Amino acid sequence: MDVIEVRHITKTYGRVKALDDVSFSVGRGEVFGLIGPDGAGKTSMFRILCTLLLPDGGTATVDGFDVASQMKEIRKCVGYMPGRFSLYQDLTVQENLEFFATLFGTTIDEGYDSIKAIYSQIEKFKDRKAGALSGGMKQKLALSCALIHKPSILFLDEPTTGVDPVSRKEFWDMLSMLKERGITIVASTPYLDEVRRCERVAFLSEGRIMGIDSPEIILDRFKDVFNPPGINHENVIGSNGENVIEVSHLVKAFGNFRAVDDISFSVKRGEIFGFLGANGAGKTTAMHILTGLNQPTDGTGTVAGFDIRTEHEQIKKNIGYMSQKFSLYEDLTVAENIRLFAGIYGMKDDEIKTKTEALLRQLKFEEHKNDLVGSLPLGWKQKLAFSVSIFHEPAIVFLDEPTGGVDPATRRQFWELIYDAAKRGITVFVTTHYMDEAEYCNRISIMVDGKISAIGTPDELKQRFHQPDMDHVFTYLAREAKRGD
Amino acid sequence: MKQFVSFVIKETRHILRDKRTMLILFGMPVVMMLIFGFAITNDVKNVRTVVVTSQMDHQTQAAVNRLAASEYFTIIATVATPKDAEIAIRHQKADMAVVFAKNFASKHSGVQIIVDGADPNMAQQWTNYARQTLFPSENSPLTSHLLYNPQMRSAYNFVPAIMGMLLLLICAMMTSVSIVREKERGTMEILLVSPVRPLMIIVAKVVPYLLLALIILAVILLMASIVLDVPLAGSLGWIFVVSLIYIALALSLGLLISNIAKTQFVALLVSAMVLLLPTVMLSGMLFPVESMPTILQWVSAIIPPRYYIQAMRKLMIMGVGISEVWHEVMVLIGMTTLLLTVSLKKFKTRLE
Amino acid sequence: MIKYLIQKEFLQIRRNSFMPRIIFIFPIMVMCVMPWVMNQEVKNIRVDVVDYDRTTISQQLVHSIEASNYFIFNGQKSTYQEALKDIETSTADIILEIRDGKFLIAANAVNGTKGSIGSAYLSQIVAAKITPTAANIPLDVNTLYLYNKGQDYKVFMIPALMGILMMMLCGFLPALNIVSEKEKGTIEQINVTPVSKWSFILAKLIPYWIIGLLVLTVCLVLSWLVYGITCQGPLGLVYLLAVLLALFFSSFGLIISNNSNSMQQAMLVMWFFVVCLMLLSGLFTPVRSMPDWAYLTTYINPMHYFADAIRTVFVRGGGFQSIAHQLLALSIITLIMSVLAVASYRKNS
């Protein structure tokens, strides 16, 4: 018998059709994937199934109960983890978990087994406030909170965005355990390896179901969306290029905690340098020091020839930066954002004008020139943010998880922009959790527990650790991590 | 029940962890009480007075001495012409001038008081006091009697007003912000999808703020009677009962705001604009309602703190029984029922 | 580059659904409603008369009371107890009792000002009726009210309202704006650019100063059109004072926003200090009536210097000389605050 029945569901917001005649069904104990680009209507679908939204048309039943009329019954039997699951920042890790356990009528002890694999990683910080955890740690705690009870149906809306590959694997192992207990799971994800772990997936695009089938068939049928051909680029960077970033024995301590613990490396001009590491390994902190947002506790370094301790304002003139959080002004239009940041870097009015035209043409954004940035889909925003960050032709651009939560096709277009920039001689310093992107880099470093545990070209690393691909290299190194934060 | 308790504990933790807000929540009543109790007074005191006389004879000297001896006036200078006095007032060196005519001694008359009229009330008071000090009238058949507050302490007037303002602020603003915060952060989605009943979510949110409000009420009352010497003339029991009704009203208002507002910022602004501003301006807290134009008097009739403040002034300061305030209490009960029904009806169990 | 930043602020203000409304409604509210509300004039005092003597004098007094602007005759009561009941239910404010040729005025003094002014007015009415017969002292005192001849409370309050307005527009709004950039994370993006901290701060403040001065101008015009109240002294000084006050509150808001993480926190802290500064400034009550400890705080309270100075200029028609002392004090306090504000903003920690 089907646990979830969706029949001709439609949902519109103003003029936008978020869901357009969507029908599918999920069997008991199935792991069902809901995939598609950003803005395809996945979140609306989840909300309708959880009775948080009323559909405009069509019917849906969950466990035999109607989503429109039997709200109370459904809410008793489902578990839901929204995309931006947010914890109570001012409660400690344990208090958060305890609260959610009680909320769902269970206790930490009762539910401990089902969350052990992930919770044990953060258990040592159980007295720390959730707000003081790093981004990935928060996500792990959120996962623990969502899984502490055993609902008969579990809805997970992009649960692993921003989580490192190792923890993602552990999370899906946990889901497999739940499935064995007969729990039905509906999940959405931008990661292909996770899509492959679903039994069936529905591909949603612009509010319509494009196909429902096994992951292999869907990924194959829509391979230009999910599996774009790899990018060919010749490694033009010789080993004789000059160093634009040089760091030696860099340390950043917060009290007794050494977030960055004695790291040294250098990056050459025009290189694409991948800066990898598990959540909380210290990547963001290191990046903040290099971009002049933070002072190092110890160690020395230069960026674009300027000292990171004393000449941070000089450094800022020569770099571009795009952060994890989306960093353009949502209440300004595309053109206004470009003009603002170009102006900040001292470009002249006419120069801005001509360059803006060129950029918009290149991005095929001309007709959206006067749209508010807040109204654009995430993938477009990210592309735009990147273009803005290199608009003033900096020597180096720093990208902090620029493609988090973006679908494969858009990520691919994003990397084309990165290659373009590298070709023009801009050094790219990038962090990411996507291991396919790691392969795109000229050189990568992998940070574990605040130290750099490996550095080299992707091929070198694969050979050195005898692993087939970067994913395995990363898992191999990150499994050795002692601390979770 | 266990869920309820853990909910209340969680909510209490939110409040206790936010040290700065806590400090303000408890600091504000204390500072407000001190400021209103001591510093904000319309007492006539230290009025800077200039004496204008061309010849200081015996009679004039006696009159000036009477002024100087009183605690109300401070003689700061003696000048020859009214013009000089006026310049002193314009430069804010003096507030008032007493001009003695040349023939003051012989005729016992011819005194002019020149006063800085910028603040009309104070100007009026100053001249009244000056007149009485210069010519004390004995054996007048007229006696005046100031009931309830013979020393004219402004604290008597302000303590009930502060209670009305702070209770509203704490209950309405804090509850609305805390509910909207959950909406904004996305935790509300999870709470709604959980098996917990929506009504319980609301009640559990409100309980800690109710307790907080009662504690603050107690602090205010204690400070009023110990530090400010404001008598608690009426029955303490009734004061708490009426306050509880008022707190319930404020909490329903908070709930209503949280239904409308989507972000914390909007909740804050709505609380400030819709609650705080009218309370301070139109409730009769600082500015007497009778002096306003009729339209504004009508507007003030729908402002809940007006009734609470009036009831408290009667119960606490005048010491009348509950039967004398039944009108205000009924209005408060009516408003509470209305607001509570509307806000519970409007509480959304789904997203939009 | 500051040009681009200022442009951005204006665009954001325009896009915001709330800001343009505030800028439009605020001056109208402040000038057309507030002066009527912030009125401490004592009037409409309800009087109960109790006449045990049953003479004609009580009739005459009732006539005088009815004729007066200050009083409303509430009714004749047969006993004092009955009248007191009226006071307890707040249907009357003052009792005038006549017994054995003696007059007793009993006023509800919970609101001290109202009680005392009310009983003073009533005394005058009674005295006027009875003194002609018992006149032994010629009370020849006349009073000259300077500056505010009509004894209009609005003349007193309007300059104060202008101060409050500058404080709200130039203190609260930029502070909240900065905290909201912090919450959204866009401030981090600005911090990695070469924008100097001066440009950043000035770009945040200048739009609000411009708006503040614009709104101030509208208020001055409104006050002339609606009430016929105009500035008696040089107008330039009014603007100078407003700018100084705006600078102070902007700096103050900046310090608070640099030290808060959420809007709620910033708003509460700001509100707390602002209320204290305002209440202790003499805007509403005379500073010299305060106890010594409170009076001492007025020496460092910029709002106090502002209130004093703006009333001198606006109401009393004073010139530069009259307010030189206040201007100096205000400038020093503002300067110190601005230095602290700039120091509190850090691009690199």
Q: Are residue B181 and residue B317 in the same domain, yes or no? A: yes
What is residue A55's three-state secondary structure?
Answer: coil
Q: Above 50 in pLDDT, residue A357? A: yes
B285 occurs within a structural domain: yes
Q: Which residues pair with A298 in a beta bridge?
A: A251
Percentage of chain B lying above the pLDDT 70 cut: 96
In tens, the pLDDT along A173-200 reads 888 888 888 889 999 988 888 888 999 9
Q: Are residue A79 and residue A188 in the same domain, yes or no? A: yes
Domains of chain C and any CATH numbers: 2-38+148-344 (no CATH), 45-134 (3.40.1710.10)
* Domain termination site, one of A194, A226, A258: A226
Q: Are residue A140 and residue A289 in the same domain, yes or no? A: no
Q: Above 90 in pLDDT, residue C349? A: no
B contact residues 6-35, partner C, Cβ 8 Å cutoff: 18, 20-21, 24, 27-28, 31-32, 35
Of B14, B186, B193, the CB nearest to A84: B186
- C303 with C329: CB under 8 angstroms? no
User: Which residues from B are below 8 Å from A54, CB to CB?
Assistant: 350
- Choose between B269 and A217: higher pLDDT: A217
Boundaries of domain holding B69: 47-134
* Domain termination site, one of A226, A255, A287: A226
Asked if B13 lies within 8 A of A104 by C-beta distance, the reply is no
Spatial neighbors of C234 by CB under 8 A, at least 6 apart, are C313, C319, C320
Interface test with B, best of C85, C285, C321, C322 (most B CBs within 10 A): C285
Q: Dihedral through CA C152, CA C156, CA C158, CA C159, nearest 10?
A: 150
**Cα(A458)–Cα(A334) distance, rounded to whole angstroms?**
36
DSSP C203-225: HHHHHHHHHHHHHHHHHHHHIII
The bridge status of strand A208-213 relative to strand A200-205 is: antiparallel
Residue A397 confidence (pLDDT): 92
Q: How confident is the model at residue C135 (pLDDT cuts 50, 70, 90)?
A: very low
Q: Are residue A149 and residue A71 in the same domain, yes or no? A: yes
Asked if B317 lies within 8 A of C110 by C-beta distance, the reply is yes
User: Which residues from B are below 8 Å from A80, CB to CB?
Assistant: 189-190, 193
In tens, the pLDDT along B204-228 reads 888 999 998 999 899 888 888 888 8
User: Hunting for tokens 């408890």 — which residue is that?
Assistant: B26
B contact residues 287-326, partner C, Cβ 8 Å cutoff: 287-288, 290-293, 296, 310, 313-314, 317-318, 320, 324
Q: Kindly report each contact of residues C55-58 with a partner whose C-beta sits within 8 Å and lies 24 or more positions away, as own/partner.
A: C55/C98, C57/C98, C57/C129, C57/C130, C58/C98
- Residue A253 sits at the chain C interface (C-beta within 8 Å): no
Residue A485 confidence (pLDDT): 41
- Residue C224 sits at the chain B interface (C-beta within 8 Å): no
Q: How confident is the model at residue C132 (pLDDT cuts 50, 70, 90)?
A: low
In tens, the pLDDT along A375-413 reads 888 888 888 899 989 888 899 999 988 887 777 788 888
Asked if B39 lies within 8 A of C294 by C-beta distance, the reply is yes
Q: Are residue B339 and residue B304 in the same domain, yes or no? A: yes
- A384 with A337: CB under 8 angstroms? yes
Of A330, A331, A344, the CB nearest to C193: A344
- Stated as kind and residue range, the H or E segment containing B115 is strand B111-116
Taking the CA of residue B287 and the nearest CA in chain A, the distance in Å comes to 41
In tens, the pLDDT along A241-291 reads 788 899 989 998 888 888 888 899 999 888 899 998 877 788 888 888 898
Asked if C265 lies within 8 A of B148 by C-beta distance, the reply is no
Q: Are residue A217 and residue A249 in the same domain, yes or no? A: no
A365 occurs within a structural domain: no
Say how many domains are in chain B. Answer: 2
- Residue B105 sits at the chain C interface (C-beta within 8 Å): no
Q: Mapped to the 3 state alphabet, what secondary structure does A168-184 carry?
A: HHHHHHHHHHHHHCCCE
- Residue C176 sits at the chain B interface (C-beta within 8 Å): yes
- Stated as kind and residue range, the H or E segment containing C326 is helix C320-344
Residue A1 confidence (pLDDT): 66
User: Which residues from A are below 8 Å from B190, CB to CB?
Assistant: 80-82, 85, 100
Asked if C186 lies within 8 A of A327 by C-beta distance, the reply is yes
Q: What is the mean pLDDT of residues C186-198?
A: 83
Q: Are residue B36 and residue B52 in the same domain, yes or no? A: no
Residue C138 confidence (pLDDT): 45
- Residue B199 sits at the chain A interface (C-beta within 8 Å): no
Q: What is the mean pLDDT of residues C176-184?
A: 82
Q: Are residue B108 and residue B237 in the same domain, yes or no? A: no
Say how many domains are in chain A. Answer: 2
Q: Are residue A198 and residue A251 in the same domain, yes or no? A: no
Q: Are residue B244 and residue B339 in the same domain, yes or no? A: yes
Interface test with C, best of B21, B121, B158 (most C CBs within 10 A): B121
Residue of C nearest to A288 (CA): C192
Q: What is the mean pLDDT of chain C?
A: 82
Count the Cβ atoms, other than its own, within 10 Å of residue C237: 21
User: Which residues from B are below 8 Å from C117, CB to CB?
Assistant: 121, 124-125
User: Which residues from A are below 8 Å from B187, CB to CB?
Assistant: 86-88
Asked if A323 lies within 8 A of C15 by C-beta distance, the reply is no
- Residue B1 sits at the chain A interface (C-beta within 8 Å): no
Q: Are residue B158 and residue B247 in the same domain, yes or no? A: yes
Taking the CA of residue C256 and the nearest CA in chain A, the distance in Å comes to 21
Q: How confident is the model at residue A484 (pLDDT cuts 50, 70, 90)?
A: very low
Residue B46 confidence (pLDDT): 81
Residue B224 confidence (pLDDT): 86
B144 occurs within a structural domain: no
In tens, the pLDDT along B45-90 reads 788 888 888 777 777 888 888 888 888 888 888 888 888 888 888 7
**Sheet of strand A2-13, all strands in order from the earlier edge strand to the far edge:** A16-27, A2-13, A57-62, A65-66
Q: How confident is the model at residue C134 (pLDDT cuts 50, 70, 90)?
A: very low
Q: Which residues pair with C50 in a beta bridge?
A: C77, C97
What is residue C72's three-state secondary structure?
Answer: strand
Which tokens belong to C329?
Answer: 């004090």
Count the Cβ atoms, other than its own, within 10 Å of residue C151: 15
Q: How confident is the model at residue A201 (pLDDT cuts 50, 70, 90)?
A: very high
A145 occurs within a structural domain: yes
User: Which residues from B are below 8 Å from A53, CB to CB?
Assistant: 350-351
Of A50, A80, A91, the CB nearest to B10: A91
Q: Are residue A126 and residue A252 in the same domain, yes or no? A: no
Chains that touch C (3 or more CB pairs under 8 A): A, B
Q: Are residue A117 and residue A218 in the same domain, yes or no? A: yes
- Residue B176 sits at the chain C interface (C-beta within 8 Å): no
Q: What is the mean pLDDT of residues C3-19?
A: 82
In tens, the pLDDT along A285-321 reads 888 889 888 888 889 899 988 898 888 888 888 899 9
Q: Are residue A258 and residue A163 in the same domain, yes or no? A: no
Residue C331 confidence (pLDDT): 92
- Residue A408 sits at the chain C interface (C-beta within 8 Å): no
In tens, the pLDDT along A102-159 reads 888 888 888 787 777 778 878 888 888 888 777 677 877 887 888 787 788 889 888 8
Q: Are residue B258 and residue B337 in the same domain, yes or no? A: yes
- Choose between C82 and A137: higher pLDDT: C82
Asked if C195 lies within 8 A of A344 by C-beta distance, the reply is yes
Q: How confident is the model at residue B333 (pLDDT cuts 50, 70, 90)?
A: very high
- Closest of B283, B339, B287 to residue B163, by C-alpha: B283
Q: Are residue B217 and residue B256 in the same domain, yes or no? A: yes
Q: How many CA atoms lie within 13 A of A266 on its CB side?
A: 14
- Closest of C207, C19, C192, C185 to residue A329, by C-alpha: C185
Q: Are residue B32 and residue B66 in the same domain, yes or no? A: no
Q: Are residue B257 and residue B338 in the same domain, yes or no? A: yes
Taking the CA of residue C325 and the nearest CA in chain B, the distance in Å comes to 10
Q: Are residue A207 and residue A301 in the same domain, yes or no? A: no
CATH code at position B121:
3.40.1710.10
Q: Above 50 in pLDDT, residue C136? A: no
What's the residue count for chain A? 485
**Cα(A313)–Cα(B183) distance, rounded to whole angstroms?**
39
Residue B252 confidence (pLDDT): 92
Phi-psi group of B284: left, alpha or beta (phi > 0 → left; psi -120 to 50 → alpha; rest → beta): left
Residue of B nearest to A146 (CA): B190
Q: Above 90 in pLDDT, residue C37? A: no
Phi-psi group of A269: left, alpha or beta (phi > 0 → left; psi -120 to 50 → alpha; rest → beta): beta
**Cα(A351)–Cα(A392) distance, rounded to whole angstroms?**
10
Complex ipTM above 0.90? no
Percentage of chain C lying above the pLDDT 90 cut: 2
In tens, the pLDDT along A9-54 reads 999 887 788 888 899 999 988 999 998 887 788 888 999 998 888 8
In tens, the pLDDT along B233-277 reads 788 888 899 999 999 999 999 999 988 888 887 888 788 777 877
B147 occurs within a structural domain: no
* Domain termination site, one of A226, A258, A279: A226
Q: What is the mean pLDDT of chain A?
A: 84
A385 occurs within a structural domain: no
Count the Cβ atoms, other than its own, within 10 Å of residue B222: 12
What's the residue count for chain C? 349
Q: Are residue B205 and residue B278 in the same domain, yes or no? A: yes
- Closest of B11, B194, B260 to residue A85, by C-alpha: B194
Q: Are residue A69 and residue A218 in the same domain, yes or no? A: yes
Strand segments, DSSP code E, in A235-378 are 243-254, 257-268, 272-277, 298-303, 306-307, 319-322
Taking the CA of residue C201 and the nearest CA in chain A, the distance in Å comes to 14
DSSP state of A92: B
Of B6, B193, B195, the CB nearest to A52: B193
User: Which residues from C are below 8 Å from B330, CB to CB?
Assistant: none
CATH code at position A398:
3.40.50.300
Burial B98-125 (b: 16+ CB within 10 A, else e): bbbbeebbeeeebbbbbbbbbbbbbbbb
Q: What is the mean pLDDT of chain B?
A: 83
Taking the CA of residue A23 and the nearest CA in chain B, the distance in Å comes to 22
* Domain termination site, one of B134, B167, B198: B134
B145 occurs within a structural domain: no
* Domain termination site, one of B101, B134, B167: B134
Q: Exposed, middle or buried: residue B253 (CB in 10 Å: 0-12, 13-18, 19+)?
A: buried
Boundaries of domain holding A257: 243-318+394-478
Strand segments, DSSP code E, in A227-366 are 243-254, 257-268, 272-277, 298-303, 306-307, 319-322
**Cα(A390)–Cα(A370) distance, rounded to whole angstroms?**
21
Q: Are residue A293 and residue A410 in the same domain, yes or no? A: yes
**Cα(A320)–Cα(A336) distance, rounded to whole angstroms?**
18
In tens, the pLDDT along C109-120 reads 888 778 888 888
Residue A187 confidence (pLDDT): 92
Of A71, A80, A98, the CB nearest to B190: A80
Q: Above 80 in pLDDT, residue B150? A: no
Percentage of chain A lying above the pLDDT 70 cut: 94
B3 occurs within a structural domain: no
* Domain termination site, one of B134, B169, B185: B134
Q: Are residue A182 and residue A280 in the same domain, yes or no? A: no
Q: How confident is the model at residue B137 (pLDDT cuts 50, 70, 90)?
A: low
Q: Are residue B186 and residue B278 in the same domain, yes or no? A: yes
Q: How confident is the model at residue A202 (pLDDT cuts 50, 70, 90)?
A: very high
